[in-house]
Amino acid sequence: MEMLIFGHGYTAGYLTPLLRQAGWTVTGTTRDDPARVRAAGAQPLIWPGDQAGVVAAIRRADAVLISAAPGPDGDPVLAELADRIAASRLRWLGYLSTTGVYGDRQGGWVDEDSELDASTARGQARIAAEAAWRDLAARHDLPLHIFRLAGIYGPGRGPFSKLRNGTARRVIKPGQVFSRIHVEDIAQVLMASIARPDPGAVYNLCDDDPAPPQDIIACAADMLGMPPPPEVTFDQADLSPMARSFYADSKRVRNDRIKRDLGVRLTYPDFRSALQAILKAEADG
């Protein structure tokens, strides 16, 4: 079995070893870092660039995962390769989206059937990309699965380095709450879907414990034996436009479907267990 991953980045780096253990051959596209893709166990392809190599990989693939984000002109894979994918022999097709498609719910709950009402340009681009992939799948009977990911964290993407170097802050915005997902749990959900395809399915990927962002910083500081950094109000925080946009949405995301339909049991069901694992992994190198 052969998997082709468009945008072989952080998440794919955890999925590829699981695929390899299950006997898959994995090819991953990258813009400029083939060594990183190769280190994860995948065969790298430079794309955009090696168009012939990518077309050949689509022709061979049993499964394709789209991890590349939409650009100014929409989904880059659809823009260049929709016809090739439409003519493929795929048994499974996955698209990694975001829970940002639900927009701001003022701390309320959403599930996979909730209205898509993104409040940011990135979320709106994801809604458009999801619709475009659904349209292609409907027209060509493709086995599309959509995965809406909450905030991703894991080794190298936790709060510990910022706490150690003194740059971490507890930004307070009343009522703000986020859902998160450890990268290893993303990988296990994707493996469960590949083993149990359900074309047309949509899954939220998040843990059981949505929480305010300042609680995560305080918990991580406690694990390091450090005092929590001082609080700063959202209005006074000097955040980048990207960081500020994450605070545009406040919601809690339900994950019942991955448990019920895929039999997933989260390895890290709450942020405390996830932070402990991240701290250990970073200490082990």
Domains in the chain (CATH in brackets) are: 2-153+180-208+252-268 (3.40.50.720)
pLDDT digits (tens, 9 = 90+) for 43-55: 999 999 999 999 9
As a whole number of angstroms, the distance between CA 3 and CA 95 comes to: 13
pLDDT surpassing 90 at residue 237? no
Stated pTM of the model: 0.96
pLDDT at residue 17, as a whole number: 98
Q: How far apart are CA 272 and CA 149, in angstroms?
A: 19
What tens digit of pLDDT does each residue of 4-37 get? 999 999 999 999 999 999 999 999 999 999 999 9
**pLDDT score for 153:** 94
Is residue 131 over pLDDT 80?
yes
CA neighbor of 111 nearest in space, from 201, 204, 37: 204
Higher-confidence position of 119 and 255: 255
70-87: average pLDDT: 94
Residue 285: pLDDT over 80: no
How many CB atoms are closer than 10 A to CB 81?
19
pLDDT at 240 > cutoff 90:
no
Determine the Cα angle at 16 with ends 64 and 134, to 5°: 25
Q: How far apart are CA 219 and CA 227, in angstroms?
A: 10
Task: Summarize pLDDT for 148-195 with one digit per residue, the tens.
Answer: 999 999 999 989 999 999 989 899 999 999 999 999 999 999 999 999
Average pLDDT, the chain: 95
